[in-house]
Amino acid sequence: MSTALETVSWVITPYVAMAVFLVGHYWRYRYDKFGWTTLSTQIYESRLLRWGSPLFHFGILAVIVGHVVGLLIPKEWTAAVGITDDAYHLMAVGLGAVAGIAVVVGLILLIMRRRLVGPVFRATSRMDKLMYVGLGLVVVTGMANTIVGNVIGHYDYREGVSIWFRGLFFMNPRPDLMAAAPLTFQAHTLASLALFALWPFTRLVHVFSVPIAYLWRPYVLYRSRDTRMGERRGRRGWENVEDGSRLP
Amino acid sequence: MKLMAQMAMVMNLDKCIGCHTCSVTCKQTWTNRAGMEYVWFNNVETRPGQGYPRTYEDQHRWKGGWTRKTNGRLALRSGGRLKNLATIFANPTMPGIDDYYEPWTYDYQTLTNAPLQEHTPVARPKSLISGRDMAIQWSANWDDNLAGGPELAEDDPVLRKVSDKVKLEFEQSFMFYLPRICEHCLNPSCAAACPAGAIYKRSEDGIVLVDQDRCRGWRKCVTACPYKKIYFNHRTGKAEKCTFCYPRIEVGQPTVCAETCVGRLRYLGLVFYDVDAVLPAASVENDHDLLEAQRALILDPSDPEVVRAAEKEGIPRDWIEAAQRSPIYSLINEYRLALPLHPEYRTMPMVWYIPPLSPVVDAVSETGQDAEDRDNLFAAIESLRIPIEYLAELFTAGDTGPVTDSLRRLAAMRSYMRDINLGRDTDEKIPRAVGMDGESVYEMYRLLALAKYEDRYVIPPAHTEQAHSLEAFATGCALDTEGGPGMGGPGAGGPDKGGPSTGGEVWLPMPGIRRSGEGT
């Protein structure tokens, strides 16, 4: 039997964060396509960005892959294909450490650049700052997990956090598993949930614009003016009132 | 053959007085916004000069345009698809704000609220990038009229290509102006480099546009455009570019830069081209063959076969007629005066230039000789190596032949027309020397010197009736509803709404109404 605090932290909060994440993105895409951008500041400064940005981004991509594997693939499955616990562990910690260090170094460079390069700092919105705090917390607690879970003590998240995480999607939340996890894992989870809730309202939305289709689309695109005008639905609020045909 | 229409521009450089009116009116219309302070969709460069942004023509450095690979295929100089994605987190060759210039405003408030003091208060320049006091050290036209002298002009990448002895010969300086807008290329490298697919070419008129809702600010287009005519709006985080004033073009009006051009040096009109022929033309092996390939792309709108192809593609009759009346085809392929800017970038640019004869004329007058005499001019065209080679580097990938031909035709016109103006008998040897006859020289003169507004700008309005039927509900008359007073006439709303069902006459929206609502 879990306490009320556990239920709030590990059942209600995750669902709320997920809902905000999904609805937020729908809302943002629907009403703010114009604001949907990376908001690059490269035109102000390139030297630090050239190192910081690729380090952070490639690092975080590897981290995301690691999280998908670690959280979504049950331990029994990897065991079934013959990956021993030790081998998995070695791989996860090894690759994770490299990616993690890239992310940390990249993020430090990028935050330094944000703060120290005048024009870049001037172009930093309050939402950006909040996002950096969230991102920083998630990265710091995440790195702490690696140390706490592997170096100081031993905690196999695949028997705890991962099962709780998957349970959320099967409507079978297990708050007891999270309650039993080490403090840093709890902190990392809460920080991540906060970041997910913040996500749709920040520049992080650009993650969902990864231009993979660029690899196979034709180089030069042609678009017709007329068909586009016909296809395009009028924006809400611009319906032809007298006509009424635009009303749902 | 798949025929398409393209709005194109020709600029007669001899007439440009470098007044920058086009730049200013364009800026007032399109780029007077935060984040766009440094952006000039239209700028006028003094050549020789570094251009804007500085040395943008040095493609070894800036990696714009296409290159031809040994297997005969084109590749983006900035990198193919994979490299483009791999460098998406930090563009390795994007110009920084310093390569343009740091935009500024002045602290005007000081002028009114400074306390009483011995000296007049001064409005200091404040950077619009950092917000701090700044020293103004560069701008879009720092080397205007060769200001800064040889030290600045020496860094002109085109001049460097022409000669290493330029330093010595710079005393015999020459100068002309080069107004530049987006080239609305047939093979646009900016569009090819856009990972998000936000840049597209309009299939009706070939205008290249950035979809602001789709642009994600990846900045690849900025690098890929060899003319550096895509700018990054640092406030919105989106790419912006010259729109060829499409809202004006759609109602039959010229672009703002053309409309306000004091020297009346711009010509606007439709040309037809075969879209399937673009890539082969852009891929010819020898750089010197690019001009001829590009000329051949522009089809003769009076050729019955071309007209048939246009009709097959559903191009409306009035558009075909506009293409036939358009001054562009004749300037490019009939008189063969107009040349594209840097064909070696292989983007097939659609803003063409009539090279300036004025450096040649100036050189002849300085010697005290008659600068309207055919023999003097022809001799000067042959002997003025640096200006001719310079023009060739700009317009023909370094091949002096077509530039010389174009200038010789201008020179012939000059001396032929002098005889007419002085009431003397014309010398038919003059036009013959440049492969023309007296009548066509006179026609050419009319087009270059006298052409009126309607002759310079032949712009058929967009066919809004098609859009109208598609979007009838948004644009139809409110009275045309069932039972409404407008029911009597043919409804504009299409068959489903009481409009004509036989595809007969369609009522056009009155262009005059839109025109009056649009401030110019």
Domain that holds residue A58: 4-214
In angstroms, the separation between the Cα of residue A1 and the nearest Cα of chain B is: 48
Which residue type does B369 have?
A: Q
Q: How far is CA B128 from CA A118, A120, B33, B37, B217, in A?
A: 11, 12, 12, 8, 21
Say which range, A179-183, B415-419, B496-500, has the weakest mean pLDDT.
B496-500
Cβ within 8 Å of B, A 33-62: 33-46, 49-50, 53-54, 56-58
Where is B76: in which H helix or E strand?
strand B74-76
pLDDT digits (tens, 9 = 90+) for B204-260: 999 999 999 999 999 999 999 999 999 999 999 999 999 999 999 999 999 999 999
Residue B483 within any structural domain of the chain: yes
pLDDT higher than threshold 50 for residue B514: no
Distance from CA of A159 to the nearest CA of B (A): 36
pLDDT value at residue B217 = 95
Residue closest to B329 by CA, chosen among B252, B277, B270, B274:
B270
User: Does A215 sit within 8 Å of B82, measured CB to CB?
Assistant: yes
Which residue of B61, B62, B89, B347 is the best one to mutate when testing the A interface, meaning the one whose CB has the most A CBs within 10 A?
B89
Helix H or strand E segment including A94: helix A85-116
> Where do the H-state alpha helices sit in B101-156?
109-113, 149-153
Nearest to B77 by CA among B228, B285, B224: B224
Preceding peptide of A182 cis, ω within 30°: no
Among residues B273, B429, B265, the alpha carbon closest in space to that of B338 is found at B265
In a domain, A223, yes or no: no
The beta-carbon neighbor of A209 closest among B194, B196, B478 is B196
Region B469-491 average pLDDT:
46
Whether the CB of B34 is below 8 Å from some CB of chain A: the reply is no
Under 8 Å between Cβ of A235 and A30: no
Output the pLDDT for position A226: 54
- pLDDT tens for B207-222 read 999 999 999 999 999 9
Report the distance separating Cα A9 and Cα B285, nearest Å.
67
Number of folded domains that form chain A: 1
Answer yes or no: is A222 within a domain. Answer: no
Residue B1, in any domain of the structure: no
> Does the pLDDT of residue B518 top 70, yes or no?
no
CA proximity to B345, closest of B68, B55, B48, B100: B68
Confidence of residue B383 (pLDDT cuts 50, 70, 90): confident
What is the mean predicted confidence (pLDDT) over B495-514? 40
Q: What is the mean pLDDT of residues A38-43?
A: 95
Longest dimension (CA), chain B: 84
Q: How far is A197 from chain B (nearest CA, A)?
A: 22
Rounded Cα distance between B207 and A187, Å, is 53
**Chain B residues near residue A106 by CB distance under 8 angstroms:** none
| Confidence band for A217, pLDDT divided at 50, 70 and 90 | very high
Q: What angle do CA B295, B297, B300 make, to 5 degrees?
A: 85
Q: Does A84 touch chain B if contact means CB atoms closer than 8 Å?
A: no
Kindly state the average pLDDT of the residues A5-10.
92
Interface TM-score (ipTM) > 0.90: no
Mean pLDDT for A95-109 is 95
Q: Higher model confidence: residue B497 or residue B380? A: B380
Rg (CA), chain A: 22
In this predicted structure, the answer to whether residue B369 has a pLDDT above a threshold of 50 is yes
- The predicted model gives B278-296 an average pLDDT of 97
Angstrom distance (rounded) from CA B123 to CA A244: 56
Q: Residue B266: beta bridge partners?
A: B11
Query: What pLDDT score was predicted for residue B172?
Result: 63
Residue B192 covered by a domain: no
The pLDDT of residue B93? 94
What are the tens digits of pLDDT across the range B423-466?
999 999 999 999 999 999 999 999 999 999 999 999 999 876 55
Six token digits for residue B308 = 């048939």
For the ranges B17-21, B113-117, B376-380, the one whose mean pLDDT is highest: B17-21
Query: Which domain CATH number covers A151?
Result: 1.20.950.20
- Is B415 within the bounds of a domain? no
Q: List the single residue in A54, A215, A240 with the smallest CB-CB distance to B90.
A: A54
Using CB atoms, pick whichever of A33, A57, A224 lies closest to residue B213. A33
Domain of B483, in residue numbers? 478-517
User: Is residue B262 a contact partner of residue B19, using CB atoms and an 8 Å limit?
Assistant: yes
**Probe site for chain A from B216, B278, B466 (most A CB atoms < 10 A):** B216
Q: Does B474 touch chain A (CB under 8 A)?
A: yes
How high does pLDDT run on average in chain B?
88
Of B194, B204, B212, the CB nearest to A225: B204
Chain B neighbors of A215, CB-CB under 8 A: 81-82, 85
Residue A164 lies in a domain: yes
Mean pLDDT of A45-54: 96
Give the separation between CA B158 and CA B58, rounded to whole angstroms.
8
Nearest to B186, CA basis, from A227, A219, A228: A219
pLDDT, position A209: 94
CA distance, residue B61 to nearest chain A CA (Å): 15
Contact (CB<8Å) B200/A40 = no
pLDDT band, very low/low/confident/very high, at B471 (cuts 50, 70, 90): very low
d(CA B97, CA A133): 28
What pLDDT does A237 receive?
A: 47
Residue in chain B closest to A210 (alpha carbons) equals: B196
**Strand-pair partners of B298:** B273
* Helix B358-366 / helix B385-395 crossing angle, nearest 10 deg: 170
* Confidence band, pLDDT 50/70/90 cuts, at residue B282: very high
Residue pair B310/B380 in contact by the 8 Å Cβ criterion = no
Q: Is B409 on the interface with A (CB under 8 A)?
A: no
DSSP characters for B374-442? HHHHHHHHHH-HHHHHHHHHHHSTT-HHHHHHHHHHHHHHHHHHHHHHTTPPP-THHHHHTT--HHHHH
**Cα Rg of chain B (Å, integer):** 25
What value does the mean pLDDT of chain A take?
Answer: 89
B482, amino acid identity = E
Please give, rounded to a whole number of angstroms, the shortest distance from the CA of A86 to a CA of chain B: 33
Note the pLDDT of residue A91.
Answer: 87
What are the residues whose beta carbons fall under 8 Å from the beta carbon of B356, sequence distance 6 or more? B13, B14, B16, B176, B391
Residue A227 belongs to some domain of the structure: no
What is the count of structural domains for chain B? 1
Q: Is B81 on the interface with A (CB under 8 A)?
A: yes
